[in-house]
Amino acid sequence: MTGETEHALRGDYSRVRADYTVDQEWDTYSTAEHDLWRRLYARQLSLVPRYASEEFCDTMASLNYGEGIPRFDVINEKLAPATHWRLVAVPGLVPDLVFFEHLANRRFPVTVWLRKPEEFDYIVEPDIFHDFFGHVPMLFNPVFADYMQAYGQGGIKAHQLGAIEMLSRLYWYTVEFGLIETPKGIRTYGAGILSSGGEISYCIESPNPNRIGFDLLRIMQTRYKIDTFQETYFVIRDFSQLFEATAPDFAPYYDHLRGREPYAPSAVLATDKVYHRGIAPVRAA
């Protein structure tokens, strides 16, 4: 999830360290919270085989943290040997530069609070279920793990160039809401989708949204909404396409894009590789 929220941040920031990390305090989770976690996990796990990328499904098969809210240090014992990433606990959204610095050092910030039962189907801000169920399995994939570190390194540079908005669009349309081609058809690898009960089928099956081929500059010039299902999804061929596209220095891209009017989230351009032109991309609010 990204850091664009107008309302006050949820979470307790009173005990953050200089790098915005906190202790997970796993013993403070209530039985009701562990139960809510089990229900969220069971629901999403039933949907993953039909809609998630093979890489995500493979990792989910090797992880089993559906019994209750996981302990970050227990997962780190598996994650570190796999891709040298580790999870750090945070109270919620952290400043962009702090977030990038963690990613650049292979530390993934995971929110410690869990949503309320009434938020079972949808939540705007990232809670522990979004961060954990949506993002953590992909950090076990070596190519994707490298991409996430490169994104962090790129974010630090973007911060210096005042280009965070353009870069966060790339994160949004790939890491959060990305689709990928597979031999069995289009699937998702986006954390915002994988942790969402409704959007995981919508992004693949609904005729409403656009589905367009990945195009780096096009994505960095396309606005997104944070509080509805996406109006357009971008499709990569494979993770190496993502990694290769983001290998070069982005400064010339930012110069090329600066000052250009961004496209609306529902736009379809003549230059787009259109997998599906949505019949109603903009949903009734």
CB 203 within 8 Å of CB 53: no
Q: In whole angstroms, how close is the CB of 205 to ligand HBI at the nearest point?
A: 26
Tell me the backbone φ, ψ of residue 110, rounded to 5 degrees.
Answer: -115, 125
Burial class (CB in 10 A: 0-12, 13-18, 19+), 46: exposed
Best CA proximity match to 188, nearest among 136, 233, 129, 228: 233
Best CA proximity match to 136, nearest among 64, 31, 202: 64
Binding segment (CB under 6 A) for ligand HBI, from list 35-43, 93-101, 113-121, 232-240: 93-101
Q: Which residue in the set 2, 21, 174, 188 belongs to the binding site for ligand HBI (CB under 6 A)?
A: 2
> Helix, strand, or coil here: 270?
coil
Q: Which residue in the set 94, 104, 112, 128 belongs to the binding site for ligand HBI (CB under 6 A)?
A: 94
Interface with ligand HBI includes 21 (CB under 6 A)?
A: no
Q: Write the binding mask 221 to 260 for ligand HBI: x where contact by CB under 6 A, - elsewhere.
A: ----------------------------------------
Closest to ligand HBI by CB, 2 vs 206, is 2
Closest to ligand HBI by CB, 110 vs 204, is 110
Q: In whole angstroms, how close is the CB of 208 to ligand HBI at the nearest point?
A: 26
Interface with ligand HBI includes 171 (CB under 6 A)?
A: yes
Q: Which residue in the set 48, 52, 93, 139 belongs to the binding site for ligand HBI (CB under 6 A)?
A: 93
Interface with ligand HBI includes 109 (CB under 6 A)?
A: yes
Closest to ligand HBI by CB, 95 vs 117, is 95
Burial class (CB in 10 A: 0-12, 13-18, 19+), 281: buried
CB 135 within 8 Å of CB 147: no
Q: In whole angstroms, how close is the CB of 52 to ligand HBI at the nearest point?
A: 19
Can you count the helices (H) and strands (E) in the chain? 12, 7
Binding segment (CB under 5 A) for Fe ion, from list 1-9, 29-37, 59-67, 275-283: 1-9
User: How far apart, in whole angstroms, are the C-alpha atoms of residue 140 and residue 231?
Assistant: 29
Instruction: Supply 148's token pair.
Output: 């996430």
Interface with Fe ion includes 93 (CB under 5 A)?
A: no
User: Considering CB distances under 5 to 8 angstroms, the limit depending on partner class, which of Fe ion, ligand HBI, none binds residue 70?
Assistant: none
In degrees, rounded to 5, the angle at the alpha carbon of residue 78 between the alpha carbons of residues 76 and 82 is: 105
CB 281 within 8 Å of CB 275: no
Q: Which residues bind Fe ion (CB under 5 A)?
A: 1, 126, 191
Q: Which residues bind ligand HBI (CB under 6 A)?
A: 1-3, 90, 93-94, 96, 99, 109, 111, 126, 164, 168, 171
